[in-house]
Amino acid sequence: MPTRVVSPRLAGVLLAAALLGTAPALAQSSGDGFLFWAPRGSLSVRAGYDRAFAGGDLFSSITNEMTLRKSDFGALSLAADIAATIGPQLDVVFGAAWSGSRKGSAYRAWSDNGLPITQTTSLERVPLTASLKWYVRPRGRAVGSFVWVPAKATPFVGAGLGAMWSRLHQVGDFVDLTDSTAFRDNLSSQSWTFTAHAFAGCEMKLSPRTFLTTEVRYTWARPKVGGDFWGYGRMDLSGLSATAGFGMRMH
């Protein structure tokens, strides 16, 4: 049986028909400055800065021996949330985030024939969380039975729990303290651990369906040190982040 080929003109007609078919549904979801019903949730993405506290014996050893400071472990943070409305001013939120730093360094007190002994240190953190998010005041108002008008600005607070994956990685040259010789190595510690957090922020309306969101979040996490750094106890990967981004209300 010969294969039937759809002509470009017919494909264009079918595509236009599909777009026209979805247009009424989109038009029915929002009007000029209002929605036809209250949203059932939202999607949002944010970016900003995450300041890791970098506490514990391992970070103390690294920053004492090498030309690193604890502030060097602060990094770009990317986050995404999906929220479901469970009350007039309450959402349950599932989120994922990533932050990663990378910094070159050298030993403070050691050199190799007058040359610096250098290495690169990186830290990654990936929390997966579930939170309750409470809006301090109503996020919108109903007009009649169907029309819902979003508020211009809605502050919120929240808290939650989750799991965090982390990885501390060093590659480069190191000093063997037993004989003071330099050697090259690739060192790593990675693990999953429990995490908890609290946050506050504000959503500001851009359109009936979209909004700008800002957030400040404190995260608590203390994973065990393992891998090539075994014996250092726990790392303090708690931190404070400030992010901003955009969101879309869902129906």
Q: Residues 30-78: pLDDT tens digits?
A: 555 545 567 789 999 999 999 999 999 999 999 999 999 999 999 999 9
Q: What is the pLDDT of residues 166-206, one digit of tens each?
A: 999 999 999 987 887 888 999 999 999 999 999 999 999 99
Bridge partner list, 166: 125, 191
**Domain presence at residue 66:** yes
Torsion of CA 24, 26, 29, 33, to 10 degrees: -110
Domain count, the chain: 1
The mean per-residue pLDDT over the stretch 209-220 comes to 96
Within a domain: residue 228? yes
Does residue 90 belong to any structural domain of this protein?
A: yes
Does residue 204 form part of some domain?
yes
In-domain check, residue 2: no
State percent of the chain over pLDDT 70: 84
Distances (CA, A) of 147 to 38, 43, 90, 144: 8, 21, 20, 6
Measured between alpha carbons, how far is 71 from 83 in angstroms, rounded to an integer?
32
Partner residues linked to 130 by β-bridges: 94, 161
Residue 57: CATH number of its domain: 2.40.160.20
Q: Is 1 a member of any domain? A: no
Domain containing 183 equals 9-250
